[in-house]
Chain A
Amino acid sequence: MSPVPRYQIPDPSVLLTDDLILQHITPGSRVIDLGCGDGRLLQRLQDELQCKVQGVEVEHANLFAAIARGLPVIEADLNEGLVDVPDHSFDFAVLSQTLQQVQKPKLLLIEMLRVATRALVVVPNFGHWRVRWEVLRRGRTPVTKTLPYEWHETPNLHFMSMKDFRELMDSIGLRIVKESPIIRGRAVDHLVAANLRADSAFYLLERDPKTQTPH
């Protein structure tokens, strides 16, 4: 029996997320997309922004599809970091809607800024008031529409809020260059009580120049 969706975190449409990422990438730059799927975003980066792209993916069907598009893509498990990717080899590292699914998000964020100067991350905000309400009122783990998994089979391993995310950035010496809360499928520059109201959030990150190496 499929679980009945209780609270649904409106997953910003894939297109919106892609557009948002595209807006923040300098044309002609070197971009690595982590968990690139079939290479949809990489294709746009290559065609629209003439970027030099590289994909990282774990699913074979996706790897085959990306290669069939003529895109460079390598197999790697993001849970193991980015061991095959050399330091400073990219301008941007992109991670869209995946951070909550990796075993060690902190390690991966540090890895992203080891291989790239800047990182673009889109993460769901589990601090949303409806999530809190579901947990409080019904005492149940929320089930989303786009990831309709019960707690025991969800790929989402970590449930972080925007506040949690900011705190982590601070503690590992990564600087948030830009934060855009995403509400009802729209990214905004400012949102009052964002941690309560945003469905997800977009972050542009870089190494804090004051910190030599993130830790």
Chain B
Amino acid sequence: MSAELLEETQTSDDGSVGIVETRSIRLFSADHPLRLASGSEMSSVTVAYETYGTLNADASNAIYICHALTGDAHAAGRHANADRKSGWWDGFIGPGKGIDTNRYFVICANVLGGCQGTTGPGSINPETGLRYCLSFPFLTVRDIVAVHSELVRALGIKTLLAVVGGSLGGMQVLEWAVSFPDQLRAAVVLASAPKLAAQGIAFNAVGRRAIYADPGFCNGDYYESEGPRYGLALARMVAHITYLSEDSIELKFGRRLQDATEFAFSMQKETEFQIESYLHYQGKRFVQRFDANSYLYLTRAMDYFDLSDGFASLAESLSRAQARFLVASYDTDWLFPTSQSRDLVTALLQAGRHVSFLELLCPFGHDSFLIDLDPLAQLVGPFLQRTMDANT
């Protein structure tokens, strides 16, 4: 199975993994279904994934990347030379980069319930021949990780060198370390938390409300029509604010006006400030690439996430983990504040785990882990290397 993976991804010297393609694999079967935390089962899940770099002979150099809420499998490189944008973590993954594809074999897959190639509410239910819509089974972070875990097995990899993720991706890393402790040697948790705090649930609730309240939502069965595009755009606008910081938003936009030097003094003009224009643009672009039902399912999965669920304490859940942990937060992140990473660190110490932690300084708020990649590379690169060394 791993043989087909040994084919090299095209690399170049400019630090990019080059041209990559998203592949597709079918996992699970009627005899070996995916059992979800809600109790339901799925006998078939299609997963969209990408890989970069080369798996070594003993399959010991594989690193799994968990994407955040609206990410996808396309973490690095370009699908075509003409592509305007490269993968969402291209600055961090590539030859000589933080996650060095000259050394490591990197895997990134779209999450279960997503809408970028992996089975989700917009997919066809094989049992009915119709789209799942809201009949798609309820999802948790554990279910998402169970699919990741199965993909890794299907790729012929017994143990991952590391699992790396930020935000909802970091939650997947934590869940993985606790649910499948033998499958990873290191866990890198960035701008994340062992549970979603009330503030995070609150913002998710507003986003979902915007979708539900859109007349185009049609109880989730909207694929033949326009769908809840205004609701979804609004959800994104609100969420986007939570990814920024007061400083970054002030620096980038301030009170500057869009295409004008004076106020219009008119209610007919909806967009006057640059920040308004920016948010509208973010909302509009998001609607083009994301499915509202996936947004509902994935934000709920995030709301439900609490690593200590089913255990006496967070420390008890983490005492199951075997991996060495690297935890980093950002000083301007108010969605996943440092205090939440510190709670995680305390529990890891209580559980006697190997843990390193620091709060990185960066003005870009929650999104810092996607933007400020140099310090991240200086931190994660050597951490991975030492983990690799400890093996041999």
Chain A contacts to B: CB under 8 angstroms: 30, 52, 54, 60, 63-64, 66-75, 83-86, 89
Contacts and interface: CB of A to CB of B under 8 A. Distances in A.
Determine chain A's interface SS by DSSP, over half rule. Answer: mixed
Contact of A86 (B349, B357, B361): B349
Q: Which of A63, A69, A75 has the most CB of B within 10 A?
A: A75
B361 to A, nearest CB: 8
A66 B382 CA distance: 10
Given A67-B382, A84-B342, A89-B349, A75 B390 contact: no
Contacts of A63: 356, 358
A83 B359 CA distance: 15
A85 B358 CA distance: 14
Contact of B352 (A68, A84, A89): A89
A52 to B, nearest CB: 8
A55 B352 CA distance: 13
Given A64-B379, A70-B387, A74-B345, 8 more contacts: A30-B352, A63-B356, A64-B378, A74-B356, A83-B342, A84-B342, A85-B346, A89-B349
Contacts of B324: 72
Contacts of B352: 30, 52, 89
Given A74-B355, A74-B357, A75-B357, A68 B345 contact: no
A72 B354 contact: yes
Contacts of A66: 356
Nearest to A87: B350
Contacts of A60: 358, 361
21 contacts: A64-B382, A67-B356, A67-B379, A67-B383, A67-B386, A68-B383, A69-B386, A70-B383, A70-B386, A70-B389, A74-B349, A74-B355, A74-B357, A74-B358, A75-B357, A75-B358, A84-B345, A84-B346, A84-B349, A89-B350, A89-B352
Nearest to A60: B358
B390 A70 contact: yes
A112 B388 CA distance: 33
B349 A54 contact: yes
Interface size class of B (residues with CB under 8 A): 20 to 34
B79 to A, nearest CB: 34
B382 A68 contact: yes
Contacts of B359: 75
Nearest to B383: A67
B326 interface: yes
Instruction: In the A-B complex, list the 10 residue pairs whose CB atoms are closest, starting with the nearest.
Output: A70-B386, A68-B382, A75-B358, A74-B357, A86-B350, A72-B354, A84-B346, A63-B358, A67-B356, A72-B356
Contacts of B389: 70
A53 to B, nearest CB: 9
Contacts of B345: 74, 84
Given A63-B358, A73-B356, A74-B357, A68 B386 contact: yes
A71 B356 CA distance: 8
Contacts of A70: 382-383, 386-387, 389-390
Nearest to A89: B349
B23 to A, nearest CB: 34
A72 B386 contact: no
A38 to B, nearest CB: 12
Contacts of B357: 74-75
Contacts of A64: 378-379, 382
A187 B390 CA distance: 36
B392 to A, nearest CB: 13
Contacts of A71: 356
B326 A67 contact: yes
A60 B331 CA distance: 13
A75 B330 CA distance: 12
Nearest to B315: A86
